[in-house]
Amino acid sequence: MPEKPALGRAATWTLVIVSTAGFMASLDNLVVTTALPSIREELGGGLSDLEWTVSAYTLSFAVLLMFGAALGDRFGRRRLFLASLTVFTAGSAAAALSPGIGALIAARAVQGTGAAVMMPLTLTLLTTAVPEAKRGLVFGIWSGVTGLAVATGPLIGGSLTEHFSWQWIFWLNVPIGLALLPLAARRLSESRGTSPALDGPGTVLVSLGMFGIVLGLIRGNPDGWTSPLVLTALIGGGVLLAAFVGYELWVAAHPMLPMRLFRSRAFSAVNAASLLMFLGMFGSIFLISQHLQGVGGYSPQEAGLRMLPWTAMPLFVAPVAGILSDRIGGRPIVVTGLVLQAAGLALYAAVTDGATGFDYPAQIPAIVICGIGMSLYFAPTANLVMASVRPQEQGIASGANNAVREVGGALGIAVLSAVFSAQGGYQSAQAFTDGLVPALYVGAAAVGVGAVCAALIPRRRKAAPAAAPAVEPAVEPAGKPVAAART
């Protein structure tokens, strides 16, 4: 058996740089949630303003993900990574310096714009830098780090707010971003896709369609699902996305998202599984973190610490799962992870009973199972996405998968919050539990369906036809001319 190639210094530097950038971008999804009371006390604003400090980031992030991937494919992934990291770092500084709630919302939108371009590029830069035989391991590390960031956002935000001030949530990004910029300029290699031109109409249609869908999901619970804004956003977004599909199928000469990708069972199945996983996971973490504080009586920091058996698990499990995926394939690991995630959510719901009081020790097994399941899912998923498309299409495939995840997260918070509100509320511990339990069962069911979707992923990636020479993206070390594409 041939020896697997070593990871190498260039690939190691790329892994460190893109994982750190991905951690920052993912962290800021939920990091501000536990700081909202302190922000309101200092900057003022009503409930709607506070909601927009979270939503402005989520909305701009979700809407521009595919556009960011397309820009990187066209103009150079390293170049756009540096530009987007600069925008994200500047947005973080502006958020920390915000004199009022309006300025903070605007700065959060700038942050989200930078993160939207940066996030899909982290995966494509990593793919071009790492030998195929080692991708399971490095994708496992990358996925574990980004998954950890999403899950620990409330803990980090609460800790910084409790011990320093809410501004430090954003100041934290600035020195890291400033350190990464010269490192990325020196260590990352340039790569591009093969698209000769940007798909302008397709970009506008998908961006506006995503804007409508995500805006409708974000505002559904606070404004009411039948409000004019929500109905207009959801219906308009759906129509625009349908128009985008039609344009890409029949009109676009160089489509930004070739619809033939969805003929691949692997690509369609892994994206369906990602949507459902994030639906169940985001919505559940959103409610469970409140359960630990509102019913358990813990501070934000204490609640975050009690979530560590879940949220810290990717650091230990994801790299091991990535190595296993190199050996046995990603499908069985992803399916197992989704099954465990669904089982953990269902177990948490089963042991939660407001009538007998809050019992954290009884919830620990469920939290641990959720953590293992999340880790097993994250580790091979990136590799499955990249292996399901041609090398020159990996940039837009990464953008599409990240967009699907963001929609899943927004949908999860909206759907599970709606179930929670219909069955319970914040009036008392018992009312909260009455809403939490059915919401978690819905989240578990969604993740379970995701496991069924993942089971449809083919066992092995088919090899490229030998008769057609594959054209890889042109790659250059920083500061050197782009080499000609090789066959």
pLDDT tens digits, one per residue of 211-252: 898 888 888 888 888 999 999 999 999 999 999 999 998 988
Mean pLDDT of 52-68: 83
pLDDT value at position 337? 95
Q: What is the pLDDT of residue 463?
A: 41
449 or 68, greater pLDDT: 449
- Residues whose CB is less than 8 angstroms from the CB of residue 269 and which lie 6 or more positions away in sequence, other chains included: 453, 454, 456, 457
Q: What is the pLDDT of residue 137?
A: 75
Q: What is the pTM assigned to this prediction?
A: 0.78
466 phi, psi to nearest 5 deg: -70, -25
pLDDT value for 99: 93
**What pLDDT is attached to residue 88?**
97
Average pLDDT over residues 88-100: 96
Please tell me the predicted confidence (pLDDT) of residue 47. 59
For residue 475, which phi and psi values (nearest 5 degrees)? Answer: -125, 140
If we measure between CA atoms, which residue out of 163, 180, 124, 155 comes closest to residue 27?
155
Q: Which CATH class is domain 9-195+256-476?
A: mainly alpha
Average pLDDT of the chain to the nearest whole number: 83
Which of 68-82, 129-143, 318-332 has the weakest average pLDDT? 129-143
DSSP labels, 224-256: -TTSHHHHHHHHHHHHHHHHHHHHHHHT-SS-S
Residue 56 has pLDDT above 80, yes or no: yes
* Mean pLDDT computed over 295-303: 80
Q: Which has the higher per-residue pLDDT, 390 or 476?
A: 390
| CA proximity to 374, closest of 287, 458, 291, 450 | 450
- Residue 156's pLDDT is what? 85
Q: If 0-12 CB within 10 Å is exposed, 13-18 middle and 19+ buried, where does residue 466 land?
A: exposed
pLDDT at 91 over 80: yes
**What tokens does 406 get?**
């963001």
Which helix (H) or strand (E) covers residue 191, if one does?
A: strand 190-191
What is residue 71's predicted lDDT score, i.e. its pLDDT?
Answer: 86
* DSSP reduced 3-state for 477: coil
Give the confidence band of 469 by pLDDT, cuts at 50, 70, 90.
Answer: very low
DSSP 8-state assignment for residue 260:
G
pLDDT of 474 = 43
The pLDDT of residue 483: 40
The predicted structure's pLDDT at residue 354:
57
Q: How many CA atoms lie within 13 A of 114 on its CB side?
A: 24
Comparing CA positions, the residue from 301, 269, 293, 22 lying closest to residue 156 is 301
Higher pLDDT pick, 456 / 61:
456
Looking at the DSSP bridge assignments, the partners of residue 476 are 190
What is 324-364 written as a DSSP string? HHHHH-SHHHHHHHHHHHHHHHHHHHHH--GGG---HHHHH
pLDDT band at 194 (very low <50, low <70, confident <90, very high): low
Q: How many Cβ atoms are within 10 Å of 203's Cβ, its own excluded?
A: 18
| pLDDT, position 16 | 93
Report the percent of the chain where pLDDT is more than 70: 90
* pLDDT tens by residue, 111-142: 999 999 998 888 889 888 888 777 777 877 88
Q: Which of 10-14, 110-114, 186-190 has the highest mean pLDDT?
A: 110-114
Structure-model confidence comparison of residues 205 and 406, the more confident one: 205
Q: Return the number of other C-beta atoms located less than 10 Å from residue 243's C-beta.
A: 16
| Model pLDDT, residue 466 | 39
- What pLDDT does 261 receive? 85
Integer Cα distance of 40 and 384 in angstroms: 43
Q: Is the pLDDT of residue 473 over 50?
A: no
Residue 465 has pLDDT above 90, yes or no: no
